[in-house]
Amino acid sequence: MEMVLNSLGRKVPLELSGAGSFSPYASPYAMLGRPGAFGGTRIQLRRPMPSRSKIVENIEKAVELSGLQNGMTISFHHHLRNGDAVMPMVLDVLEKMGFKGLTLAPSSIPDVHDCIADYIRSGLINRLYTSGVRGELGKLLSRGELEIPVVIRSHGGRARGIEEGSISIDVAFLAAPACDPLGNITGSTGPSACGSMGYAMTDARYARHVIAITDNLVDYPLNPRISIPQYLVDSIVCVESLGDPKKIATGAARITRNPVDLKIARDSFLLMKASGIVERGFSFQMGVGGASLAVAKYLAEYMREKGIRGSFGLGGVGGYLAGMLEEGLFDAVFDVQSFDSAVTKSIHEDPRHIEIDSSWYANPFNAGCLVNNLDCVILAALEVDCDFNVNVLTGHDGALRGASGGHQDTAAGAKLSIVAAPSFRGGVPSIKERVTTITTPGETVDAIVTERGICINPRREDLLGSALKAGLPVVDIEALKEEVEKLTGVPRPPEFDCDKIAAVVEYRDGTLIDTVYARKQ
């Protein structure tokens, strides 16, 4: 296998048997700025007889009608979060029907779906494209048990892959919280309501065949909101339940009480403020965990106090952002994926809460995705390094246990990208000489905020000046790394079997940014 060094000094393959050929990563914008349109996938045309119902009796029948063959590609969305029962349900049917060698290309894989490991061992699945993997599945892949390496893509990268044809979905299975007999679908109502269906919208548009699976068949026509229109859906299967409503409709994430996370959040907000971007018309995205959500708390207080109204919030939307919209702190919210049930009411009732597909969200190869309009994004990290590269995919033991998500997309698009992370977790330092895996290049990260100080990327002299002027606790990243290592020691790096590639990590433009090797047994 021919390996080359990319511009970040990471060895990446030019070709992977079974997964295609790749180019090495060069820079965040190397593939952009070229005039004119090129290639791309078209919507797949069909010629069905006119009908008033697309309902078929069960999943098996729907699969037969789809023409699915061994070796083809199937997709799922992960909007039902850890409550999803549809992916295991469908894979179980496919296994019983005797399929082999399928490519599984979901938008991501919820933590609970360890069953995929079994279907890899049984031979049902032999290729995997995803944003991330965790749990048992991550461990299995990190042992190199899947012959063909996993291709990890960001949300924007996956949308690009589908639209350019490097991911060619044969059959998309869409969990549909509300669906009418002709296949108009929304995620904003029903017992399994999940909010936005942004990732599913892209799959439905380009798949060769689309099967909707619903536990909530409504009278025709579904109204008032239709997320996926009937002309994209081939057949519908009614099932008793799409999953566990408690895990689908999780309550709004609460602001952390952890003092370390609060300190990180506060300093992140102060850096935003110092940079001068928090003014009328500003746009913002944050994650929903730990420190990120708490940033919004400080931001909201400040916007309220100063009477600042932002232009839009983007995400990954949780209840807190929906609340800021309701309060009038933003003009609109664009929602590709809802994080909790508190969002469902907002997306259903508030026309300013706009459901968007994953291409609109973050595909770098369309005429303009929303991440490019972000003023500020607050991101998390498993590890960072002295070049500001970020790893959100592999843990300190080298095993796959994270997801690329929208990290590299938003970091590249936003004017100010802040990584908010504790300087160590469980005694393991987060700042490394070199991250185990690069998922987001340091060239697109402006600052790393920890509880022990703020590290500013040397590329951003302007930001450094603003932070110092505001009296923020700026610290050199090498010095911070040393300070933390005095507390934690320097962990021995994980050992890898460099003859066996477990996964390759695409940058959003399709070039390879890094390679994940199997862990040494």
Partner 1 sequence: MKPCRSMLYIPGDSPGMIQHAPVFGADSILLDLEDAVAIAEKDAARKMVACFLQDYDFKDLIVTVRVNGADTEFFDDDLSEIIPCLPAAVRIPKCNGPADVLSADKKIEEIERANSIPVGKVRIHAMIETAVGVENAYHIASACPRVEAITLGGQDLTADMGVKKTKEGWELFYARSRVVVAARAAGVAVYDTVWADINDKEGLLRECRSIVGLGFTGKAAIHPDQIETIHQAFMPDEKELKKAVRIVEAAEKAKNEGKGVISVDGKMVDAPVVARARHLLELADLYGLERSGS
> Which residue ranges make up the site for partner 1 (CB under 8 A)?
259-260, 262-263, 451-452, 471, 486-487
Q: Is residue 514 a contact partner of residue 151, using CB atoms and an 8 Å limit?
A: no
Q: Which is nearer to partner 1, 48 or 426 (CB)?
A: 426
Question: Based on CB atoms, which residue is closest to partner 1, 284 or 424?
Answer: 424
Query: In the complex, what is the shortest distance from the CB of residue 297 to partner 1, in angstroms, rounded to a whole number?
Result: 11
Q: Is the CB of residue 287 less than 8 Å from the CB of residue 378?
A: yes
- Least Å distance between CB 480 and partner 1? 12
Q: At what angle do helices 319-326 and 342-349 cross, to 10 degrees?
A: 40
Q: Which is nearer to partner 1, 148 or 428 (CB)?
A: 428
Whether a cis peptide bond, with omega within 30° of 0, leads into 491 is no
Shortest spacing between CB 261 and partner 1, in angstroms: 11
Least distance CB 420 / partner 1 (angstroms): 14
Of residues 147 and 482, the one with the C-beta less far from partner 1:
482
Nearest to 379 by CA among 461, 498, 451, 291: 291
- CA-closest candidate to residue 406, choices 379, 366, 438, 433: 379
Q: Give me the least distance between CB of 424 and partner 1, in Å please.
A: 9
Nearer to partner 1, 443 or 483 (CB): 483
From the CB of 263, what's the least distance to partner 1, in Å? 6
Give the chain's largest Cα–Cα span. Answer: 72
Residue 193 or 420: the one with the smaller Cβ distance to partner 1 is 420
Both structure tokens of 294 = 């708490």
User: What is residue 94's three-state secondary structure?
Assistant: helix
Decide whether 228 or 265 has the Cβ nearer to partner 1: 265
Nearer to partner 1, 41 or 258 (CB): 258
The three-class DSSP label of residue 440 is: strand
**Which CB sits closer to partner 1, 220 or 302?**
302
CB of 452 to partner 1, least distance (A): 6
Provide the phi-psi class of 123: left if phi over 0, else alpha when psi is between -120 and 50, else beta. left
**Hey, what are 171's tokens?**
């059959």
Supply φ then ψ for residue 454, to 5 degrees. -110, 125
Q: Which residues are CB-contacts of 365 (< 8 A; sequence separation ≥ 6)?
A: 31, 160, 163, 164, 509
Minimum CB–partner distance for residue 299 and partner 1 (Å): 16
d(CA 120, CA 124): 6
Cα–Cα distances in angstroms (integers) from residue 202 to residues 19, 38, 107, 227, in the given order: 21, 19, 10, 11
Kind plus residue range of the DSSP H or E element containing 293: helix 290-306
Q: Quote the least distance from Cβ 340 to partner 1, whole Å.
A: 22
